[in-house]
């Protein structure tokens, strides 16, 4: 999560560049961590030949990155679903608030008209 960054609308060039850079750095960090884990696994298996260790490392990194990709895609999908739910709820609440304000304004105008009518009748 980015902290202390100024908010820019989605799709703005500086925002897109920042998002792409953050994504690249995150992917690089995940790949590096997977590589380290694979090397540690191979170190615990001293009987592996160099070729076998390299193949095991490559397979582990590939599989780990696939799992990470699936988890991130699932998170992105869920975030989109939540965003849609929240936007729908916000629009619904906004409409309800507008209706209440309109009803309140009508009530105030009706009362003002009534008071004006009563005041006019009393003056005559």
Question: For residues 98 and 122, what is the distance between their CA atoms, to the nearest angstrom?
Answer: 36
HSE at residue 48, side-chain half, CA atoms within 13 A, is: 16
pTM of the model: 0.62
Are 58 and 43 a contacting pair, CB within 8 Å? no
Q: Kindly report the CA angle at 25 between 22 and 30, in degrees rounded to 5?
A: 125
Are 60 and 41 a contacting pair, CB within 8 Å? yes
Which pLDDT band holds residue 124 (cuts at 50, 70, 90)? confident
* Per-residue pLDDT reduced to its tens digit, 75-106: 999 999 999 999 999 999 999 999 999 999 99
pLDDT of residue 2 exceeding 60: no
Ramachandran class of 73: left when φ > 0, alpha when ψ lies in -120 to 50, beta otherwise: alpha
Predicted local confidence at residue 10, as pLDDT:
57
Who contacts 2 (Cβ-Cβ below 8 Å, separation ≥6)? 18, 22
Which pLDDT band holds residue 7 (cuts at 50, 70, 90)? low
* Per-residue pLDDT reduced to its tens digit, 38-68: 999 999 999 999 999 999 999 999 999 999 9
Predicted local confidence at residue 19, as pLDDT:
87
Are 66 and 31 a contacting pair, CB within 8 Å? no
Q: Length of the chain, please?
A: 124
């Amino acid at each position: 999560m980015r902290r202390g960054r100024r908010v820019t609308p989605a799709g703005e060039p500086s925002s897109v560049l920042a998002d792409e850079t953050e994504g690249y750095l995150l992917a690089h960090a995940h790949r590096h961590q997977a590589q380290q884990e694979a090397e540690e696994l191979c170190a615990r298996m001293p009987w592996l030949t160099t070729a076998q260790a390299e193949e095991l490392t490559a397979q582990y990194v590939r599989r780990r990155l696939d799992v990470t990709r699936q988890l991130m895609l699932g998170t992105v999908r869920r975030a989109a679903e939540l965003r849609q739910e929240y936007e729908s709820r916000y629009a619904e609440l906004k409409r309800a608030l507008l209706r209440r304000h309109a009803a309140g304004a009508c009530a105030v105008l009706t009362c003002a008209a009534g008071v004006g009518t009563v005041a006019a009748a009393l003056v005559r």
